[in-house]
Chain A
Amino acid sequence: MVFRRIISGFWGRRWQGAVLAILAAVVLSGCSTYSHYPQGMEQTTLQSLRTGKRVDAEKNFGKRTQGNSGVVFALEMGRVAQLEGDYEISRQAFTTAIEATREQDEKAVISASGAAAQGAAVLVNDKAIPYRAPDYERTLMHHYQMLNYLGLQDLNGAGVEVRRANKTQKDAQERRAREIERAKSFQQNVPESEDGKADERDPHLIPVYAGLDEMAGSVKYSFLNAATLFLSGVVWEMLGEQNDAYIDYKKAIEIYPDNVYLQRAVIRLSRRLGMREDAADFSRRFPGAAAVAAPPQGMARLVVMFEQGLAPQKSDMSLAYPLSGGSSLGVISLPIYADPVPPLVTGSVRVGGKSAGKTAPLCNVSALAARALADQMPGILTRQVARAIAKGSAAQVAGDSGGEWAELLVTLYNVVSEQPDLRSWLTLPAHIQVLDAWAEPGTKKVEISAGGATVFSGEVTFTAGRTTIISVTTIDLAVYSHVIMQP
């Protein structure tokens, strides 16, 4: 009995009540298809998305966008509706997610409902806590909302989402800087790592962190998303705000310096805005891009957003962990990412029979997700340990006062209820790539091929001085594509 811990029998002979209470909690914690998040989503939504079968977003998620997991269901609903071309339903769903997230942020520091959820989490599991979107999901919800407003021909609305996406990334950056400061002040003797992450890492979790680090690769911050910054720049340019566009392209190129389209964008705008030092510096760093950065007069802009696959799913990992100062070992289960990241396939774009270039990666969602989970791990671990101790003592009390069958019952409950929180936004793509090119005005045939298959083929209208966005998403056998003309 690994959980057996000695804590004074404050429940006394009231064990029957305790057992009933926990049984009620297990029943209330929900036994629907969705209570096992990745599997439930797989059966109801992801399988259909993979084969191009229509998902009724409203029926699947509509009612679920309220309640504990409301935010994550609203995100799934927004994404599915957008893939299927229903911008208005998608806009409403993302608005629900954005508003709910804002309410969570503006709640009192210690709220009664928050405390109750944390309490329930100690007795049941982390799924009792309302879903809070991690920063990378928050940035991406504004990313897709931008596309919704563009699709609905509301450029000003898209501008609002660009500002929100910027603020989300800035706030997260400041929060992270404060956390690192705090971690450093608590543990002054711990040797500093480059970005302070190692300071808060638990040595018992080395295998967990190793897997996440490998997946995150060179991604340092989960909240900075170059694809969103690039799309923000495109929207700024549509609004005629070149200076703002330049700033976002510059931020994006710090994350993806090898992306040729970002290189061309920063050189083009630094020249146009008369930033001589910047222009000279970028031209020196990226001589290849400097030669082709300036578009010929009277051209239209073509932006291709090419998305591939689905975001990684969390799975659980059980491992032994010392409880109560190391006097005994407990088993805790933690969420991890175990599936391999799907390989990146480049898309080739042809406009009017001529090559317009190849798509280039700008966002690896799996890496962002892995980095975000590594950052959340200390909090998850704290709750897991508290739960292991509480549940262990419940079994102990039940055994002392109610005999073996009561102890068995409580232990059974502990095992059944012990599930890590595996919720995350699963309909996100695994990779986002872009292409940014200039096209002659008029209606032209555009073809996009990837991995030997044509993923888009259609007549697209280009207008001088305006932008046309083609968004293509491939999920296994299915392809979803949309053409959005600048409003």
Chain B
Amino acid sequence: MGFGHGLIAGLSALALAGSGSDEIANSGSESIVIKQDTPVELMATAEVTTATAKPGTVFKLRVNRAVLIGGKTIIPVGTLAFGEVTAAKDAGGLGKSGKMTARLLRIQLGDAAIPIEGTVDTKGSGAGSAGVAVLATGLMGVFHRGNNAKIKAGEILTGFVSEDVAIDLLPTPHRHTSTAVPAQ
């Protein structure tokens, strides 16, 4: 029975680490596990548009709301994050709108790269720029170019941590090679 309780207690400590996004792995320790599916609110720091972006274009974001675990800020506001354009179709003539798909890649917390997942699908909308051209018949014509798809600067995106990530916070945040909490 004693062994069983000890086993349960030991596993409970690990369970606290991996049981959810709000638990600190070990009290008094600077090691922590950021659980899979922990939501992270991000903000695009610059516009990403089909006018210039192509598949493979990496763009920057910043953490817009701190991620707290056990009441402690683990990922502060302003932490750098990255996304990648996976598909981009520029706007065309006759009002054809641009389309773009992007995915979230990772949060860079010190030396720790925290993989995140999330996708963004955007489509240009509304009437774009209009150019006036004289048709061969002499009639005035109006050519409407569709709007480019874009992720606007300041736009909020929500990502989710894609796997359990064990991190030592001191001296500089860095990631364990496994999610197991190191022994004290």
Same complex for A and B? Answer: no
Residues in chain A within 8 A of chain B (CB atoms): none
Residues in chain B within 8 A of chain A (CB atoms): none
